[in-house]
Chain A
Amino acid sequence: MRFLDEFINYVSSVDAAKLFRMFWFFFIFEFFRFFLVEISTIIFWKFDSIFRKKGIADARLTLMKSQPLVSIIVPGRNEGKHIFKLVNSLKEQTYQNFELIVIDDGSDDDTPIICRNLEHLGMISAFYRNDVRGGKASAANLGLRYARGEFVIHFDADCSYDRDAIENILVPFYYNPKIGAVGGNVQVRNYKDSLCATLQALEYMDTISIGRITTSELGIYRVISGAFGAFRKEALDRLGGWDIGPGLDGDITVKIRKLGYIIHFEPTAVCQTSVPVTFKKLIRQRLRWDKSLIRFRLRKHRDVFYPNDSFKFSNFISFVENVTYNLILNVKWFFYLADMVFNFASQLIFIIPMNICLYTVNNFMKFLVFSPFRDRKNEGITYFLIYLPLMVFYFGYFLRIVRTTAYIQEIFFKASYKDNWNPAKSSRQAKIMKI
Chain B
Amino acid sequence: MSLKVVPQAIEIRNNKIEFDNLLFFIVDSNSSVKIEPLIGYDAIIIDSKDAEFAKLILKKIRGHYNPEFYLKPVFLINYKESKDPILHSLNDGFIHSYDQLKEIADVAKQIFLKTTQLDYQLVATFEAQMMKKVLNFMFTRDLKTLKPIPDLNSVIGYTYPAISVNFDSSEETQVLEILEWGEREGLVWPDFHERIYLCNQCSGGFLSYREVCPHCNSSNSSAQDLVHHFPCAYIGPLSDFQNNVDNALTCPKCNKALRHIGVDYDKPSIIHHCNNCDKNFQDFFVKAKCISCTQDVEVQYLIPKAINVYKLTKRGRTAASNGFLSTGKEVEDIFGTLTMAVFKTMLHYEIERIKENPEQQKSSIVIVNIENIFELYKKVGKKAEKTILESIVNLIRENVRPTDFIAFENSSTMYLGLINSDALQSEATLENLKTLIEKLIKNNFNDFSANINFKVKLLQPFNKSEFQLQELTKDLFD
Q: A131-B269, A132-B268 are in contact. Are A126 and B279 (CB under 8 A)?
A: yes
Residues of A contacting B233 with CB < 8 Å? 134-135, 137-138, 141, 241-244, 426
The residue of chain A having its C-beta at the shortest distance from the C-beta of B253 within the complex is A240
CA distance A119 to B281 in the complex (A): 10
Residues of B contacting A146 with CB < 8 Å? 271, 280
Residues of B contacting A142 with CB < 8 Å? 226, 235-236
Interface hub of A116, A120, A138, A243 (most chain B Cβ within 10 A): A138
Asked whether A126 lies within 8 Å of B281 as measured between CB atoms, the reply is: yes
CA distance A174 to B233 in the complex (A): 30
Q: Mark B225-237, 1 if CB is under 8 A from A, else 0.
A: 0101011111111
Q: A119-B283, A120-B214, A240-B254 are in contact. Are A141 and B268 (CB under 8 A)?
A: no
- Whether, in the assembled complex, A23 has its beta carbon less than 8 Å from a beta carbon of chain B, the answer is no
Asked whether B230 lies within 8 Å of A129 as measured between CB atoms, the reply is: no
CA distance A116 to B283 in the complex (A): 7
CA distance A131 to B252 in the complex (A): 23
Least CB distance, B180 to chain A, in whole angstroms: 35
CA distance A263 to B253 in the complex (A): 22
The residue of chain B having its C-beta at the shortest distance from the C-beta of A130 within the complex is B268
Residues of B contacting A428 with CB < 8 Å? 230
CA distance A130 to B233 in the complex (A): 13
Asked whether A138 lies within 8 Å of B228 as measured between CB atoms, the reply is: yes
- Whether, in the assembled complex, B264 has its beta carbon less than 8 Å from a beta carbon of chain A, the answer is yes
- Whether, in the assembled complex, B266 has its beta carbon less than 8 Å from a beta carbon of chain A, the answer is yes
The residue of chain B having its C-beta at the shortest distance from the C-beta of A131 within the complex is B269
Size bracket of the A interface: 20 to 34
- Whether, in the assembled complex, B443 has its beta carbon less than 8 Å from a beta carbon of chain A, the answer is no
Q: A128-B282, A130-B226, A240-B254 are in contact. Are A145 and B268 (CB under 8 A)?
A: no
Least CB distance, B469 to chain A, in whole angstroms: 63
CA distance A433 to B226 in the complex (A): 23
- Whether, in the assembled complex, A127 has its beta carbon less than 8 Å from a beta carbon of chain B, the answer is yes
Residues of A contacting B214 with CB < 8 Å? 119-120
- Whether, in the assembled complex, A425 has its beta carbon less than 8 Å from a beta carbon of chain B, the answer is yes
Tell me the chain B residues, 227-262 only, with Cβ under 8 Å from chain A.
228, 230-237, 240, 252-254, 262
Asked whether B231 lies within 8 Å of A130 as measured between CB atoms, the reply is: no
- Whether, in the assembled complex, A381 has its beta carbon less than 8 Å from a beta carbon of chain B, the answer is no
Residues of B contacting A128 with CB < 8 Å? 269, 271, 280, 282
Asked whether A141 lies within 8 Å of B282 as measured between CB atoms, the reply is: no
Residues of A contacting B236 with CB < 8 Å? 141-142, 145
Asked whether A425 lies within 8 Å of B266 as measured between CB atoms, the reply is: yes
The one of A119, A120, A130, A426 in contact with B230, judged by C-beta atoms closer than 8 angstroms, is: A426
CA distance A23 to B233 in the complex (A): 47
Residues of A contacting B282 with CB < 8 Å? 127-129
Residues of B contacting A106 with CB < 8 Å? 268
Residues of A contacting B271 with CB < 8 Å? 128, 146
- Whether, in the assembled complex, A429 has its beta carbon less than 8 Å from a beta carbon of chain B, the answer is yes
- Whether, in the assembled complex, A19 has its beta carbon less than 8 Å from a beta carbon of chain B, the answer is no
Asked whether B252 lies within 8 Å of A129 as measured between CB atoms, the reply is: no
Residues of B contacting A116 with CB < 8 Å? 283
CA distance A3 to B271 in the complex (A): 73
Tell me the chain A residues, 107-146 only, with Cβ under 8 Å from chain B.
116, 119-120, 126-132, 134-135, 137-138, 141-142, 145-146
The 26 sampled A-B contact pairs (Cβ below 8 Å) are: A116-B283, A119-B281, A120-B283, A128-B280, A128-B282, A130-B228, A130-B235, A131-B268, A132-B228, A132-B268, A138-B234, A138-B235, A141-B236, A142-B235, A145-B236, A145-B240, A146-B271, A240-B254, A241-B233, A241-B253, A244-B233, A425-B230, A426-B230, A429-B230, A429-B264, A432-B231
The 9 closest A-B pairs by CB, nearest first: A240-B253, A130-B268, A137-B233, A132-B268, A429-B231, A429-B230, A138-B233, A145-B236, A142-B235
Q: Can you add 7 more A-B contacts, CB < 8 Å, to A131-B268, A134-B268, A241-B253? A: A120-B283, A134-B228, A141-B234, A244-B230, A244-B232, A426-B230, A430-B231
